[in-house]
Chains A and B, each alone.
Chain A
């Protein structure tokens, strides 16, 4: 494995990822997280070479998103869930996102501390990722990272997101199935229910069920779930004690059954379509923001009279888009002019 990825050895990297080699997968994810132009070349090559889901023995990767308030036991639970999934013969990748510090830009990534029993299992790949300023509890490159893990052949991909306030919803942008992990006695559980969390979960897990307060939390959730009109299938409420592994096999079974049920109703497919659309729009949005930034540099923020050029920007942007639409596929010609 080369120490630095370059245009010349990119195909080695692609081969390594497709063969499921840890070092290659790790390098590829770093590249995806960077703003290097090689990133897009890598993603394109992986897309062209990866085995289509329909050809795979496992029928393609399933992405399980796990969110919930800080300290609820998400990482510990994932560690246990991975153990059960391994016993069922699944190859598992975990992507654990923790927040970046808004002050230093650094991050302390401690999720895998709770998953250390898988440190040497070749069927498990765990990657910690910093949110790098993105709200929504995920990293800007999370979905693209998932596509690398998919190409690497992991049948089960678990993503842990930062869950504070309303940021849990970000997990919807990449998961086939969402697990919300809550813990009793956290004090702000009612807050959590209000903040829209009740609209995103397929399964609600009351972890730390060794605490007596867990029962009242379970009851509250049962009531809330019955009212959740958004759900295609009424969400389930389960109890776990992650530190003891209790309830984790039942959770694993439930995940499998849910995925199947969602699939039968075509819901997995429509979620997939929705999230790809969102992701592509986001990429375009970022590029356009960049375009607008440069535009402002050229035109100034306001005109000499102090007015903001709302109309001017919208007209010019629309005109630029028009050109793209008309010339779709002829970008090279345009560049040559």
Chain B
């Protein structure tokens, strides 16, 4: 099936800096993805609702405010509650190394610190895509 990969880039939490989020959104577009950008200060509930309406395969969460340990897992949890656990959640922003294992445990599939080369993100997305193609 010739399905385009659709990715939601969302900013939960209260910080108003979306340079990073916009950068990744544009970079992913330039790699051929269809990227939906939601803007700042989205609640996990509205992110999940948007992810479902847009039928994305990926949700990328960007956060600088430090609330990632609550907000990222909450998005994963709400997606599960909607029966949409097939949507891959990844994160980026200022996230200390020691928080990463816990986030992964909670179902966040990858965490990219600031300055991650975009190629790495693309590689992750492509791996997930082909991986999920094998299991179905």
Contacts and interface: CB of A to CB of B under 8 A. Distances in A.
Interface residues on B, range: 20 to 34
A108 B42 contact: no
B4 A108 contact: no
Nearest to B83: A1
A275 to B, nearest CB: 25
Contacts of B29: 101, 104, 106-108
Interface string B48-71: 011011110000000000000000
Contact of A30 (B26, B28, B36, B55): B55
A106 B52 contact: no
Interface string A118-140: 01100001111010100000000
B3 A34 contact: yes
Contacts of A108: 25-26, 29, 35, 37
Contact of A128 (B3, B28, B42, B54): B54
B126 interface: no
Given A30-B3, A34-B1, A116-B38, A106 B31 contact: yes
Contact of A23 (B28, B39, B42, B52): B52
Interface in B12-36: 25-26, 28-36
Nearest to B56: A26
Interface of B: 1-4, 6, 25-26, 28-39, 42-43, 45-46, 49-50, 52-55, 82-84, 86, 136
Q: Which are the 6 A-B pairs with shortest beta-carbon distances?
A: A119-B46, A26-B55, A106-B29, A113-B39, A3-B86, A106-B32
30 contacts: A1-B84, A23-B52, A23-B82, A26-B52, A26-B53, A34-B2, A35-B1, A35-B2, A36-B2, A101-B29, A101-B30, A104-B32, A105-B32, A106-B30, A106-B32, A106-B33, A107-B34, A108-B25, A108-B29, A108-B37, A112-B36, A112-B38, A112-B50, A113-B39, A116-B42, A119-B42, A119-B45, A125-B53, A127-B54, A130-B4
Interface of A: 1, 3-4, 22-23, 25-27, 29-30, 33-36, 100-101, 103-110, 112-113, 116, 119-120, 125-128, 130, 132
